[in-house]
Amino acid sequence: MLVRRTPACTLRASIQSHSHYSQSRSKSGSRSLATHAPSSSGTPLKEKNCASITPPYQTLIQNLEHVRSVLKRPLTLAEKILYSHLVDPINGLGSGDVGRIRGEAYLQLRPERVAMQDASAQMALLQFMSAGLARCAVPTSIHCDHLIQASQGADADLEKSIQSNKEVFDFLESAARKYGIEFWKPGSGIIHQIVLENYAAPGMLMLGTDSHTPNAGGLGMLAIGVGGADAVDAMTGTPWELKAPQIVGIHLTGQLSGWATTKDLILHLAGKLTVRGGTGRILEYFGPGVENQSCTGLATIANMGAEVGATTSTFPYSKNMQSYLHATGRGPVARAADEAARKGFLSADEGAEYDEVVEINLSDLEPTINGPFTPDLATPLSKFGAFVKEQGWKDELSAGLIGSCTNSSYEDMTRVADLARQAKAAGLTTKVPFLCTPGSEQIRATIERDNITSTLEDVGAVVLANACGPCIGQWKRDEKQGEENAILTSFNRNFKSRNDGNKLTMNFLASPTIVTALSFSGKLSFNPMTDSIPLPSKPGETSQSFKFSPPKGQDLPSSGFIPGETSYYPEPIPEPQPETEVIIRKDSQRLEVLEPFESWFDNGDGKRNAKNERGLELPPLKVLMRVRGKCTTDHISAAGPWLKYKGHLTIFLKICVLITALNDEGGEMNVAFDHDAQDGQSTTDTIPNVAKRFKARNQPWALVVDDNYGEGSAREHAALQPRFYGCSMILARSFARIHETNLKKQGVLPLWFVDKADYSRIASGDVLETIGLADLLQGNPNAQISIKVTTRAGEVFEIPTRHTMSADQLKWLRAGSALNYIRSQMK
């Protein structure tokens, strides 16, 4: 159903080498962020050279005029940004029927920028290098944030991580130098905060190799999380393909007040939409409730849009965005955006239609806590204490963690510091470990200058390195291992075992202010809006209590942002240095040059793969297992301590493919059946070990999986790992968007059950054969794929499936991978 939006909400504008990694030295122990010397800058930011980050508004607006001549209807903001980036704005949409574009048409797009974090950049660069180009086709950056483990505190953790990951950082920096990529060193901060502070611009289209790339949507752009192979498309100048998303309008009215924050808005919305409600959709916010939100507050909302599966989220250009651009040294971008806004480019047209509209009155919102184990289990704070009691959990908090890419803005930190000052005045300190992760060196330096850091430390906070840390499992936590316990975080994701490796740790998501308040109480049931904390008293004294006042903060620092340790920062717009040798040690246990995946078909050269007697159908595939229930990319390809092996596919795959997936035949974790076990082999083993046996026998295989398979991060290893071991097809009740695309990129065929009940009809050891794939590969766009199933008992039946393969994606499948196809076109 299409919903017409009125009225329009348009802004009328009145408005170096690795050995030189800088090591900060703590002056007050692990709880301190050190004061940096030689290259540290306490001078407020100056206006930057914005030539490479200012969108080409004139060209984009001209492209959009061509699109309007085809569509002849009002456009949403998301459509304006997408369609203005079409490779062919005249013919790229085909029919102008909105119903045949959104959710159906495949768009060929030209993103303006790529950003990669250090864990995913390894594989992306290895793939890019195999393309043989001398430089990136679009501005690209690398951000060292995922490989820094939280343990003792900022300085010690950073130094240890630089030493333990030196080989990877050397590789990334040398590749960046060779290809002209901006390299943000360890300690510079988290990719999404850095992008928001330095690269994001209204109306831009960019890709990032992390699922929370949409964070940059807080500046009124489309930032989309992808796998490394998709990033390589943009980096090589290859048109990037996206199935045109549906557009959901989120109409905001009213005003946030008291304890309610933008984090509570997105937690509330996650509860309404669920983890699948945004799949194949862009969330576009509009209405009077948008205008009063800070730019960084909008970024928080966009960041967690990933938790409902949304392609990305965006907002109309606002005065607060304009102010944020000026405050972060991007005045030229703001002035160009002002002009683009005057021409109507940076907001939806009057009468634009949405596929669905969700109404939210901000005045009705209260703080919300989501979890455990899924980000869409939303409970209003007023009901959370009763919820804890109903579940039989201990009314006890074991740790509070704030910061991360989702909530580490200056506004977040000033609100938290206000609570800390209130508590300190009452003589309170936190009752549980209280960890704070600054999002960037710019934020770290600014909050230190403004005495926010010392205020938090005074009440017990431990300030961690400017990195992802506990949010992604980089947390060396010794306590509570093997024990059920509850932590409260301002992070974005809370899957089982994600943060500390303990499957019994329950992570509840909340705003930084709620996390902070409950850290002083130590109880899950504490409601700072209504409850008080007893104060210590001596015998005979009248007992007293303390109650928080609603926190106050400010979105931008009065004295401006300061950059802090500038040696962490890259040279702007670097030129490639082709003479640079990319550093990969021959005996490396961390990095491995990629070998192309083999195609089961003829690669388009007429030479049939002798191993496949079925021609353009897949060979007979044995079912490895039927996966039960939620299977995120964390389940398929674990992070945490395994991140360090992400650049070495062989080692990485040996240890952690699907190790936390549940086998539906028996319900056990990390157990698979080998019905063809040979002498001396058991009929059950770990999933990686059975996959290795199949590979050793040259037995291609398939997986049968449940709904929303591949939910979570953008990590393409969740597609690379099964592919490496011989997985050629995955049959799912449904897929998460990024993961389905990653499978296609690596030459794995993703198919959807037409009847979800067929999931239970297929078991491990059954043999699957495609019927109709050959017609599809030979150019019949209407061909349907069915699956012939031969059970272990000899029963034979056929089930219908549906696919989402575009013409280009079929070329990837036929070539064995997208990279194989790209390489073949460059010869």
Examine the residue annotation and report whether 715 is marked as an active-site residue of this protein: yes
> Catalytic: 713?
yes
Identified catalytic residue from 102, 110, 449, 715: 715
B/e letters for 183-216, b = 16+ CB within 10 Å, e = fewer, are bbbbbbbbbbbbbbbbbbbbbbbbbbbbbbbbbb
- CA Rg value for the chain: 26
Token pair 């939280």: residue: 150
User: Which one of 493, 635, 737, 814 is the catalytic residue?
Assistant: 493
Of 376, 386, 316, 309, residue with least CA distance to 347? 316
In the residue annotation, 233 being an active-site residue is answered as no
Identified catalytic residue from 31, 110, 145, 664: 145
The SS3 call for residue 378 is strand
Residue 366: Cβ within 10 Å count: 16
Angle at 131 between CA 125 and CA 135, to 5 degrees: 70
In 597-657, alpha helices (H): 633-636, 649-656
* Residue 819: partners with Cβ closer than 8 Å, 6 or more residues away: 127, 130, 131, 229, 232, 596, 745
Q: Counting Cβ atoms within 10 Å, is residue 454 exposed (0-12), middle (13-18) or buried (19+)?
A: middle
Burial per residue of 297-309, b for 16 or more beta-carbon CB atoms within 10 angstroms, e otherwise: bbbbbbbbbbbbb
**Helix/strand/coil for 364:** helix
Catalytic one of 146, 192, 415, 814: 146
Strands across the sheet containing 222-225:
182-184, 140-143, 113-117, 205-208, 222-225
Q: What is the distance between the terminal CA atoms of the chain, rounded to a whole angstrom?
A: 46
Can 85 be counted among the known catalytic residues?
no
The burial of 542, by beta-carbon neighbours within 10 Å (0-12 exposed, 13-18 middle, 19 or more buried), is given as exposed
Please state, as a whole number, how many other Cβ atoms lie within 10 Å of the Cβ of residue 380: 16
Before 372, cis peptide (omega within 30)? yes
Read out DSSP for 302-322?
HHHGGGGTBSEEE----HHHH
Q: Which of 318, 440, 713, 764 is catalytic?
A: 713
Cα angle 516, 404, 308; round to 5: 100
Q: Residues 118, 157, 170, 210: which is the catalytic one?
A: 210
Q: Which residues contact 680 (CB under 8 A, 6 or more apart)?
A: none
How far apart are alpha carbons 62 and 59 in whole angstroms? 5
Short-list 538, 647, 665, 585, CA closest to 119: 647
- Burial label, 686 (beta-carbon count in 10 A; 0-12, 13-18, 19+): middle
Tokens of 466: 């400017």
Please, how many CA atoms are within 13 Å of residue 322, restricted to the half-sphere of its CB? 19
Handedness of CA 158, 159, 165, 169 (dihedral sign): positive
Q: Is 577:54 a contact under the CB 8 Å cutoff? A: no
Angle at 446 between CA 444 and CA 450, to 5 degrees: 115
Residue 128 token pair: 């890019």
The total of other beta-carbon atoms located within 10 Å of residue 676's CB is 13
CA distance 333 to 219: 11
- The total of other beta-carbon atoms located within 10 Å of residue 88's CB is 11
Whether 588 contacts 194, CB under 8 Å: no
Q: Catalytic residue numbers?
A: 145-146, 210, 493, 713, 715
